[in-house]
Structure formats: structure tokens, C-alpha cells
């Protein structure tokens, strides 16, 4: 199985040289690097090598076949909780990406599942971050993925997470209702900010609505184990909301106590002080439970993945 990226050229994108398109669309390589890739026949149009002066036409299929590069080591100890002709339910360990991206291709849950002789797919119904552990649901084909996706979109799927946060989380349910917007003050481009109702610093029309319920499970002197039920499924919803509430997720390199840790992490420059501050080598977030209906039979399905022992150890460590 080879890494391969494909894009179909739209009428709006047509009429430009392939090098101009690549530099504008995929800026991780500069013009000289893209010209070298074209010269080595790793860029194809409609299945054939091209010249650097080729002009793209509507509906052209542009393909990029990058050479294999060493990938970071990952934890491949996933467990299949359920599988049939329609879907798979997996308990994913931390430090395993769900899908290909950046430096990861073969070292992803997608590639590992696909290597089990799946002719198509798998199709993720939902995804969790590389450092988050727990339940992931995948469909074996696009039809079943669409059925499950509609359940997700309509709020018929119930999910519960477990997390360890910094601080002594309050007793009783805490419900956070607000919006997620890009954080313009952050040095991390992909970071989001949770904005509660009534905040006047952001226009009401901006951001995406999110709602999350938090319940205290156990509380230590410095950290707390919290149960999380998201009513919406936005990217970084739980982590950004907890940071705004003043209880960041332990080990979180973006939404933790110091976001510059993330910059040092991606450059492989973490210090011993950073590691002590993080407490864990992963973010303490775990997809613990999910319930939904089977895409074909309609049967109610319910799955749980045990909370990692390290979460309990953390909470007890400073008592």
C-alpha cells in the first residue's frame, strides 16, 4: 500500500500551470521542490507524468506519489471490540493516529485496519486525536458510513469521555454551552477558543456552537478525574472548553498550562521541565463509551473501553 494524494481539478482551478497550482494548494513544498517531484514522475495528471509547464484542465485528476519516508514510532496495540460485515469498533491506544496525515501513513489505525485485507475503506464514522485513547467506530463501506454519520449529525449517538484535569473540579454537573472560534492570540495556528454566552469580545455570528456536560468522578489534591458527555461533536471541543473553565487536561500540549510546549514538541525539543509540567507523555483524554444503532439492523449497540490505570494513578499521586 503506497501513499497517494489525489485531487480533481475544478473549472475554477483550471487554466493554471501545474507548478503554480501545487505551490498555492500544497505549500509544504516550495516551487523548486515541486519541480523536482515532477521531474521524478511523482506528480501525475490523468495517470501520466507531466512537464513543469503543463496547464491543468477542468476534471483533470492530479495525483502525487511521495516517496516513503521513515515514520515516527507509534503504539499499535489496538483491540477490536466488535466487527461484522458492516462495521468495526476499536479500542485505540494513545500515540496512534487515526488517519494518514503529515509524517504518518503506514503508522495509522486506518492503514493497520486496511492491511487486514479490506478492499475498501475503512471509513471513519468519527475520529479522536492521536494522543487520545479509546473507542473509534469505522464502517466497512461508504453506505454504512453515511447511515452512521446521519446518526451522529442528528444527535442519536451517545458518547462519554474520561479525562484528568489540573485542579480540584467542582462537585455537581457543570454544563458549558458556547461557541468555538479560532484563537487569534495563540502561537499555535490550529488552536480554538471557547466563548461562553454573553461574551462581548466576539461577534455572535462567529464560531460553531458546542455544548458539553462535565461530572466529577474523583478529586485529588491537585488533579481530578472527570466524566465528559459532549452534546455536540466539534474538533477540540472538550479540551478547549476545559481550558476556558480553568481546568486544562493533564498532558495537553496545546490546551494545557503552556501552549509553547507544543512548538517544542513538534521540533523534538521538549525539556525535562516540560515533561515534568505535562505529567504524562500523552493528553489524559479517553473515549470511554459509545452507544448507537447498527446501520443495517437498527439494533442498539453499546461499547465501553476501560479508563487507563494511569488516570487513577495521577489523581492519587499527590494525595
From 30, 68, 120, 129, active-site residue: 129
Give the span between the Cα atoms of 97 and 123, in whole angstroms: 14
Give the span between the Cα atoms of 170 and 43, in whole angstroms: 55
**129 tagged catalytic:** yes
Using a 10 angstrom Cβ sphere, with 0-12 exposed, 13-18 middle and 19 or more buried, the burial of residue 220 is middle
Give the span between the Cα atoms of 228 and 175, in whole angstroms: 10
φ and ψ at residue 35, rounded to 5 degrees: -65, -35
Give the span between the Cα atoms of 108 and 101, in whole angstroms: 9
Give the span between the Cα atoms of 317 and 69, in whole angstroms: 40
Query: Which residues are identified as catalytic?
Result: 129
Amino acid at each position: 500500500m503506497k501513499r497517494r494524494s489525489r485531487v480533481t481539478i475544478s473549472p475554477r482551478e483550471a487554466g493554471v500551470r501545474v507548478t503554480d497550482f501545487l505551490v498555492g494548494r500544497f505549500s509544504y513544498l516550495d516551487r523548486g521542490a515541486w519541480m523536482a517531484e515532477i521531474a521524478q514522475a511523482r506528480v501525475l495528471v490523468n495517470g501520466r507524468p507531466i512537464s513543469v509547464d503543463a496547464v491543468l484542465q477542468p476534471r483533470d485528476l492530479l495525483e502525487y506519489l511521495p516517496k516513503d519516508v521513515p515514520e515516527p514510532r507509534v503504539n499499535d496495540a489496538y483491540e477490536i471490540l466488535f466487527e461484522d460485515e458492516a462495521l468495526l469498533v476499536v479500542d485505540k491506544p494513545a500515540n496512534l493516529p487515526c488517519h494518514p496525515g503529515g509524517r504518518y501513513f503506514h503508522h495509522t489505525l486506518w492503514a493497520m485496519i486496511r492491511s487486514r485485507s479490506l478492499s475498501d475503506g475503512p471509513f471513519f464514522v468519527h475520529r479522536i486525536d492521536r494522543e487520545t485513547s479509546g473507542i473509534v467506530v469505522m464502517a466497512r463501506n461508504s453506505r454504512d458510513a453515511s447511515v452512521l454519520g446521519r446518526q451522529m449529525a442528528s444527535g442519536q449517538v451517545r458518547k462519554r469521555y474520561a479525562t484528568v484535569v489540573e485542579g480540584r473540579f467542582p462537585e455537581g454537573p457543570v454544563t458549558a454551552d458556547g461557541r468555538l472560534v479560532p484563537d487569534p492570540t495563540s502561537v499555535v495556528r490550529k488552536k480554538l477558543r471557547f466563548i461562553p454566552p454573553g461574551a462581548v469580545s466576539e461577534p455572535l455570528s462567529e464560531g460553531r456552537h458546542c455544548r458539553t456536560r462535565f461530572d466529577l468522578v474523583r478529586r485529588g489534591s491537585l488533579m481530578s478525574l472527570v466524566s465528559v458527555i459532549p452534546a455536540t461533536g466539534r474538533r477540540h471541543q472538550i479540551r478547549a472548553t476545559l481550558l476556558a473553565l480553568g481546568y486544562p487536561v493533564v498532558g495537553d500540549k496545546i490546551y494545557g498550562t503552556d501552549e509553547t510546549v507544543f512548538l517544542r514538541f513538534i521540533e523534538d525539543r521538549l525539556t525535562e521541565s516540560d515533561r515534568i509540567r505535562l505529567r504524562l507523555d500523552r493528553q489524559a483524554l479517553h473515549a470511554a463509551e459509545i452507544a448507537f444503532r447498527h446501520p443495517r439492523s437498527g439494533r442498539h449497540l453499546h461499547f465501553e473501553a476501560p479508563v487507563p490505570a494511569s488516570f487513577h494513578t495521577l489523581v492519587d499521586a499527590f494525595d
